[in-house]
Structure 1
């Protein structure tokens, strides 16, 4: 395992919000603070809420109540709290913060819009009143199928303000994927746009939304944002112009929502079956997101948080609530990181003064193919922290980001958790050294461990990532499917959340995710996460990115089959395949020699860069691939299925 390469500056560390929180309780040593945070999770989360100076409509009488079982823990019992008020009114009511920057938007075409907290508050109040006049009430569900535009944020906050519940849908979904979510939650209204721009081309959206609504009998009205002002089909009985609803300028008082009232249902794709609707409440997801952003990554007033994502993925809402709960600004970007030139991402960072940039390893692997001069032409001195999530790192792209982009001064805050978590289980730490590709350990308040198949703590070997205690932000089950929730996370060991990640903790105390436990290979009795073999492959100059899956083998139980995307200038062939197989054998041992290395144009992945290994394996073996609604590039699946068919015929 790697040694630390980034070390905190002592003076800067003392200025972080996390260190100041520790000092409030007379603690200077981070490890001691973490231990206290899991010895008494009730104390810890109350300390966070008090330090954030959140505003309650009615104070809570008890921090947590697990009397219905750990999996159904209730937080801030009997309190009333509205997240829209705490994201906006709390800042607008103060002279020093009402005119502070809250949101920056840049379109694919370079258009820019900016909103102060007061600007955003006005827009949210106008929409809240309009939605109320449409008959949207507390508890109603509203689908949001919008691109990365400011109206997306306005819609989320306005829906929460009136006590209704929003369901964000990935902007790249087709009608069937949107309809499945609208039907599952029983949405009454869909908010969409006429279209958006991607790589300079118009992407129609209203037409797809119409098809989704035609499949969703619960949806009565469609609210349309004119992003492109293009002609679109119009149903006079069903469709409403966004601008026609934004007429009243009077403030709209936030609903007195209870702590445990849902404000969001966000769907996460299942390996099989329908997507899971994770339920999040006013005092859950927003507080966890605020802690992880504000104390983990040190996001605060004056900072600009920019995560390359979509609102349909967890990190979209996370960015919204993480930034606004902390009094910072967020940046929304409609386009792609390398259009119209390979420096688009770096130009955005420089032109808007981004302080916190969140990216996936997949994005970096794509950008590092271009000459580093594209990076060097921009002043990136505003950057304080890189955030990364979505995939395990390989050493080469990690080092490229750290050295070439960050100049060795910007820490990479590796971050992993999930939609059901409201943020991170594992994270970096700005108070401790950081090693390449690693996590510093569990986030404060997250009682995480690594267990073997017998439920025993292990170090120095791969095991299951588990959580032994509840936390603020844990999902309130799956919408209308509590049994599936319990079976998915709580059924393997009593009172223990099993997350589904394989993790290893090394002798230095650094944590590494080696892959999803359902992606794990077991070759000749040796258990291995795919990231280890993939890192060996991408060390070869010919390979840009790779994926490894296990296929059945009569002798070894399983054998590895690898898929590689080649760098420009390299051609696929038997000689290169032999070289790569030999490289893996040299680095990892003869027993782990892969059966094949296939060359592909691209790997199946989501818009936010997560490689779907379960889909690769299923397609290659000719099996049902499960829910594919989050896929960015379905053609990649068809190509892999063809390779699998050809291999089966060859054998």
Structure 2
């Protein structure tokens, strides 16, 4: 990309300084950047000392055979011990680990709920570890977990970590086909599931999908799955075969005494399959020591965590890496009290999340831009009904947050007093890489700002040369980091080709994202590189055009794709969801108004060829917009694989309405 590339991007003049009180008592202050720059390995060694090690490492980083890293070489530790036992041994066993809030409503009109202390969590994890070991699972064996957002899911993960059995958590909304492919790829001998879970007030079955998946696995590799351990959650009727075992039979009667074994720092902790993949699943391997150091430190730093007083809530599902790093391993290693919520934001009413924030006095809140935009669409009168004054920091994760959503989030949810940490990271990175530090950074709406202390990132051109301020290019990570993926499960060559081949000469990790440095050198993430369009020789970011559309008062959410065009190479096609209760232009008049708005905000080159008003956008269960499918529609192709969508019928509705909303000029 040239210096002109993406240079007509977001110009954001609003700044939000850290609150003085937070800055004065911040966990991480400005000197951390210089400390890390001066001696990166010593910096990470200091962060590693926040954990309990059974054996100290001999060497902080082995980068002798790039891109294969080893961190804290020779060190030994147990992830579950660090997340649970050490807090109990330190006298904090009575501290609440989780306020669990279930979705189904009881006879009193309130959702089911219970508090789980660290002492209780330790006992449950120990019992589960004993039960899983009794089923023949030993260190190195893989376990697949396919569960709703209930405490037993986290207990299962920690029990596997305690035994040194790498887990692969598969999101409970995925199909039997997706589950079977992951079981086969990592060779899981045990599957842990539930009869079902609750979603929007109704029981949703899980066990039938597991039965179907195991049958598919059996047809390809007989005898691989030895047992299926089943939590009784909904009480619905399920088929029960010879390999099936009830959780309450196996775990509840097991001993609560279990001695955790210390494992090598590079012992595999889990395999996480990236969402939305087609063909062979891509299993990201994370190991124990470096990952736990990275997840726990960044949780401590980015959220300015005060575990004695904070109540933290990350709304992600444990089926995604955000749930691994910022519900399970990072927060529990730091000994914080968390909210764990099973349900959806709109059941039994659209203020459900804010009711929980009010009831549990949540102080730190971490969610996705797609959720924030949904709340914008519903209107501020819903959160305004609840007391959100306990909140002191808000976080955003999953995709770049557009400036208007950022401002709404900060103002309506945060009462214009809370910092917003807009975090960039990936399944592959394992930990937050780029984010404001809440006690240091004067944040800009829409910008992830700067790499965290100890993280080295840059924006480069096609040749790998750093671009100047005000220019765009490709985001790369220029130095190894503790929580980095070690390889793709069973496929070192694909690992090298996917992440390290583009800038092999420089030794850079290629993130696959476009990015821009603004005039101050701060970073703006622009979405996946394949979401950067080339219109008449001008490179345009889908994120930038989406942000322009959402800045219009009528638009709640937007997705933009580049579609093939005989004249311009690619043309901008936009799909928008309108805010509820809006008034003004409608139909073709509104479409023209929105096209003109984009031209005014960015320039005529960015004016969408067509804009389609839709009721919903195609999203994965993690909330990411599947622009690949929208591109299929815009280019009149048969829509591709929709198995990872939360609602596959969305694409039918969009395809039917495509003929409307076209513009020719």
Partner of 1:455 in structure 2?
464
Q: What does 1:238-277 correspond to in 2, within 5 Å?
A: 238-246=243-251, 247-269=253-275, 272-277=278-283
Aligned residue number for residue 470 of structure 1: 480
- Please list, as runs of the form range in 1=range in 2, the aligned pairs for 1:206-245 lying within 5 A after superposition: 206-217=207-218, 218-235=224-241, 237-245=242-250
Paired residue for 1:567?
579
1:17 paired to 2:13: no
1:127 aligns with 2:128: yes
Specify whether residues 578 and 4 from structure 1 end up closer, same or farther in structure 2 by C-alpha distance, changes over 3 A only.
Answer: closer
SS in 2 for 1:426: coil
- Structure 2 residue matching 1:93: 3-state secondary structure: helix
After superposition, what is the alpha-carbon deviation per residue over 1:258-310, rounded to whole angstroms, capped at 9, x for unaligned? 11000110110355432210011111322211111111211232322211111
Deviations for 1:519-570, whole angstroms, at most 9, x for unmatched residues? 1111122112111111222223332211111112222221111111123357
Find the residue that maps to 2:76 and give its secondary structure. coil
Alignment deviations for residues 33-88 of structure 1 (CA, whole Å, 9 cap, x no partner): 324424532112101112x1x2212221111111112x101011111111011111
Q: 2: CA distance between counterparts of 1:241 and 1:491? A: 47
- Structure 2 distance, partners of 1:646, 1:545, is 18
Match of 1:42 in 2: 41
Q: Which residue is equivalent to 1:438?
A: 447
Match of 2:83 in 1: 87
Q: SS at 1:528's partner residue?
A: strand
Structure 2: segments with no counterpart, 5+ residues: 1-10, 105-110, 219-223
Q: Does 1:380 align with 2:385?
A: no
Distance 2:293 2:229 in 1: 29
**2:592 is aligned with 1:616:** no
Task: Give the Cα separation in 1 of the matches to 2:338 and 2:329.
Answer: 9
Aligned to 2:65, the other structure's residue is in SS state: coil
> Within 5 A, what are the aligned runs for 1:362-373?
362-373=370-381
What are the Cα deviations for residues 372-401 of structure 1, in whole angstroms up to 9, with x where unaligned? 232222221221211101122222222111
Residue 106 in structure 1 maps to residue 101 in structure 2: yes
CA contact (8 A) 2:564 2:635 kept: no
Taking a change above 3 Å as real, the CA distance of residues 39 and 625 of structure 1, as seen in their structure-2 partners, is farther
**2:359 matched residue in structure 1:** 351
Rounded Cα–Cα distance in structure 1 between residues aligned with 2:394 and 2:641: 31
SS at match of 1:202: strand
Q: SS at 1:288's partner residue?
A: helix
Counterparts of 1:147 and 1:210 in 2: how far apart (Å)? 16
Q: Which residue in 1 is equivalent to 2:431?
A: 423
Q: Which residue of 1 aligns with 2:58?
A: 61
Q: Contact between 1:621 and 1:641, CA under 8 Å: does it hold in 2? A: no
Equivalents in 2 of 1:305, 1:275: separation in Å? 32
| Residue 313 (structure 1) aligns with | 320
2:71 aligned residue:
75
Displacement of 1:641 after TM fit?
Answer: 4.3
Alignment map for 1:166-185 (pairs within 5 Å)? 166-185=167-186
Give SS of 1:560's match.
strand
Contact 1:38 1:446 in 2 (8 A): no
CA distance in 1, matches of 2:413, 2:279: 41
2:518 aligned residue (496, 506, 509): 506
Q: 1:579 aligns with which of 566, 578, 593?
A: 593
Q: Structure 2 CA distance, aligned partners of 1:113 and 1:80?
A: 34
Cα offsets for 1:192-246 (capped at 9, x unmatched): 11111111111111111111111123212111001112221111x1110101112
CA distance in 2, matches of 1:320, 1:641: 39
> Which of 412, 422, 425 lines up with 2:420 in the alignment?
412
Shift of 1:342: 1.6
Match of 1:23 in 2: none
1:488 is aligned, of 490, 498, 503, to 498
Q: 1:159 & 1:151 partners in 2: Cα distance?
A: 12
Q: Structure 1 residue 320: deviation in Å?
A: 1.1
The residue that corresponds to 1:117 in the other structure is 118
Contact 1:284 1:422 in 2 (8 A): no
1:198 aligns with 2:212: no
Summarize the Cα distance change of 1:568–1:375 in structure 2 as closer, same or farther, 3 Å threshold: closer
8 A Cα contact 2:378 2:580, kept in partner: no
Match of 1:147 in 2: 148
Rounded to whole Å, the distance in 1 between the matches of 2:351 and 2:661 is 40
2:384 & 2:36 partners in 1: Cα distance? 42
1:622–1:167 CA distance, 2 compared to 1 (3 A): farther
How far did residue 444 of structure 1 move? 1.5
Determine if contact 1:161/1:254 at 8 Å carries over to the other structure. yes
SS at match of 1:135: coil
Q: What whole-Å deviation, never above 9, does each CA across 1:296-336 have from its counterpart, x for those lacking one? A: 21123232221111111111111211111111122211111
Displacement after TM superposition at 1:593 (Å)? 2.0
| Cα drift, residue 99 of structure 1 | 1.3
Partner of 2:397: 389
Alignment coverage as a number of residue pairs: 633
CA distance in 1, matches of 2:613, 2:655: 13
Deviation at 1:643, TM superposition (A): 5.4
For residue 323 of structure 1, give the secondary structure of its aligned residue in structure 2.
helix
8 Å contact 1:299–1:323 — kept in the other structure? Answer: no
Which of 296, 321, 324 lines up with 2:302 in the alignment? 296
Determine the C-alpha separation between the residues in 2 that align with 1:623 and 1:284: 44
2:6 counterpart residue number? none
Counterpart-to-counterpart distance in 1, 2:637 and 2:100: 42
Q: Tell me if 1:537 matches 2:537.
A: no
